[in-house]
Structure 1
Amino acid sequence: MAASPSRGAEPDLRLVATDIDGTLIDDDRRLSPRTIEVLGALPVPVVLVTGRPLRWLEQLYDQLPAPLPAVCANGAVIYDPHTDEVLRTEPLSSELLVDVTRRLRDAVPDMSLAVEIDDGRAFRHEPTWPLRWTDPRVRVIGTPADLTSAPAVKLLARSATADPDDFLELVSKALGGVAEATRSSSSALVEISAAGVTKAAGLAWFCDRERVTASQVIAFGDMPNDIPMLTWAGHAVAMGNAHPAVRAVADDVTGTNEADGVAVYLQKVFNL
């Protein structure tokens, strides 16, 4: 059951920031009619803040009456769908990728690696990477050096056997602060960005451009990669299905993504 907004009637709320998977959409990756209606009725703009790469926005945009601006790849890419323009990108350099992959191979067993390149429009992976979809933009690398030959907006590390939280801790220790590590999946999949690149940093850049302050933002999320954004935003809402660490930093908890938790909460906040 959704909590009552503790500061929901604030007239100074000027932007809604929401994660996508496990938050705005249901487990079938669909927007509910109620969510679409509420998004269209909001008196303030909405920005998507997601771990998804740029190419994965198409699936959501196809369900919306109009596309929404997006902070993608956990803050590494900021995209304006109206002009089809990448406004900002903060990739891992080739040199940093070489250092990071060396650290991971030395410290982390049972691991496969992949990279999001070309601002998240393309994906390259090791032969051991488990593919769950077919896409012409997804290709296997020919040699290990191919993985680090171009800047990447995200490096991904996957374990087939580790506990997800334990694997994140192991990867984070191996990185030693040279890059950011987080996770948004229920599996042992860690997402690695350049140092300082988080959902909070990307959203802060976007809001500064729009002349919106942190105190004027209400944000929704469900997984550890949402924690920086929720900590930064003036009002943070965890989903009913959120990871315990997300609930710990949130101001409120709403219903699950399967129960239209974002839409229900926004209706109360904006008296829709």
Structure 2
Amino acid sequence: MGETPRLVASDIDGTLLRDDRTLSPHTAAVLARIAAAGTPVVLVTGRPIRWLQLVYDQLAEPLPAICANGAVVYDPVADEVLRADPLAPELLAEVARRLRAAVPGVSFAVEIVDSRQMRHEADYPLRWDADTDAIRAVESPEELLSAPAVKLLARAGEQDPDVFVRVVAGALQGLAEATHSSYTGLVEISAAGVTKAAGLAWYCARLGIDERDVLAFGDMPNDLPMLTWAGRAVAVANAHPAVLEIADEVTAANSEDGVAAYLEKVFGVG
């Protein structure tokens, strides 16, 4: 990578946001100055589109986003999905069949309509926006798997997430991507080849930007493909051990504005 990156890509939760899910005014100001000076800043997240407004409310201007672990590329200004890579219903059915055979007590939810809506089985434990109109329990497994989904979510009680994701990936054997972005025992499943790296690569190609010129920040295993792909990979100090192991550099923790501190150093803004 040259001295100055041509694009900045950052994960949101655990990276840009503090532990209380707020964005510090300082970090927001640094991102705004970099974007205003002409360097694209892109959010690359496991979050669905419907969760982005909570972040946009804390930014000076909404930033483009690679959502659902790379399955959705979103333009917030036009409220337009530029690209979507969902799991087809037939693939969803095969993934669910394999996981039900391999994981006792597994339950599922799906992100549909480009992640603007979520459907879940009755016994799937909801932890966040359970009361919104976009979330609904289905009446049968067949209904859950009847529409293309940009992400399939799997839970099976309390699980070590690193162990659980290996079990899921082993059961799928390349049929789909399996990763995790939290410590709650949730595994996130995307179509084969769909990762944060793939979504970001598509967006960068659209802008004519090479991966060598991309500076990327992250903290969890779902960030690994992006961090491996980017020209410069920076982990926050609170990152998962797997992320710390492959990062080119480590900045301060999310609670200490680590991304902003690193960007100030690279771009000379403050």
Same structural fold, with TM-score higher than 0.5 when normalized by the shorter chain: yes
Are 2:160 and 2:183, in contact at CA under 8 Å, matched by a contact in 1? no
Quick check: 1:113 aligned with 2:105? no
Output one character per residue of 1:88-110: Cα deviation in whole Å (capped at 9) or x when no partner. Answer: 00000000001000000000113
How many residues get paired? 264
2:13 to 6, 21, 43: 21
- Distance in structure 2 (CA, Å) of the matches to 1:122 and 1:219: 28
Are 2:237 and 2:253, in contact at CA under 8 Å, matched by a contact in 1? yes
> C-alpha displacement at 1:36, in angstroms?
1.0
Quick check: 1:138 aligned with 2:130? no
- Distance in structure 1 (CA, Å) of the matches to 2:54 and 2:254: 17
Q: Secondary structure at 1:74's aligned position in 2?
A: helix
Query: TM-score by structure 1 length?
Result: 0.95
- Distance in structure 1 (CA, Å) of the matches to 2:69 and 2:158: 24
Quick check: 1:80 aligned with 2:75? yes
Counterpart of 2:162 in structure 1: which amino acid? Answer: D
1:58 to 44, 53, 60: 53
- Distance in structure 2 (CA, Å) of the matches to 1:16 and 1:108: 38
Q: Secondary structure at 1:52's aligned position in 2?
A: coil
Counterpart of 2:103 in structure 1: which amino acid? Answer: V
Quick check: 1:103 aligned with 2:95? no
Who is 1:228 aligned against? 225
1:203 to 200, 217, 223: 200
Output one character per residue of 1:25-53: Cα deviation in whole Å (capped at 9) or x when no partner. Answer: 11111110110111111131100000001
Are 2:179 and 2:221, in contact at CA under 8 Å, matched by a contact in 1? yes
Quick check: 1:169 aligned with 2:161? no
Who is 1:147 aligned against? 144
1:240 to 233, 237, 246: 237
> C-alpha displacement at 1:12, in angstroms?
4.3
Are 1:110 and 1:161, in contact at CA under 8 Å, matched by a contact in 2? no
Q: Secondary structure at 2:100's aligned position in 1?
A: helix
> C-alpha displacement at 1:164, in angstroms?
1.0
Quick check: 1:41 aligned with 2:33? yes
Counterpart of 1:91 in structure 2: which amino acid? Answer: P
Instruction: Give ranges in structure 1 of 5+ residues lacking alignment.
Output: 1-6
Counterpart of 1:169 in structure 2: which amino acid? Answer: R
- Distance in structure 2 (CA, Å) of the matches to 1:214 and 1:196: 17
Q: Secondary structure at 1:67's aligned position in 2?
A: coil
Q: Secondary structure at 1:82's aligned position in 2?
A: coil
Who is 1:128 aligned against? 123
Output one character per residue of 1:181-231: Cα deviation in whole Å (capped at 9) or x when no partner. Answer: 000011110000000000000000000001111011000000000000000
The runs of at least 4 aligned residues of structure 1 exceeding 6 Å deviation read none
> C-alpha displacement at 1:83, in angstroms?
1.0
Who is 1:4 aligned against? none
- Distance in structure 1 (CA, Å) of the matches to 2:16 and 2:220: 13
Are 1:53 and 1:121, in contact at CA under 8 Å, matched by a contact in 2? yes
- Distance in structure 1 (CA, Å) of the matches to 2:79 and 2:144: 27
- Distance in structure 1 (CA, Å) of the matches to 2:108 and 2:11: 24
1:71 to 66, 83, 92: 66
Counterpart of 1:173 in structure 2: which amino acid? Answer: G
Instruction: Give ranges in structure 2 of 5+ residues lacking alignment.
Output: none
Identity %: 62
- Distance in structure 1 (CA, Å) of the matches to 2:113 and 2:195: 19
Counterpart of 2:82 in structure 1: which amino acid? Answer: L
> C-alpha displacement at 1:159, in angstroms?
2.2
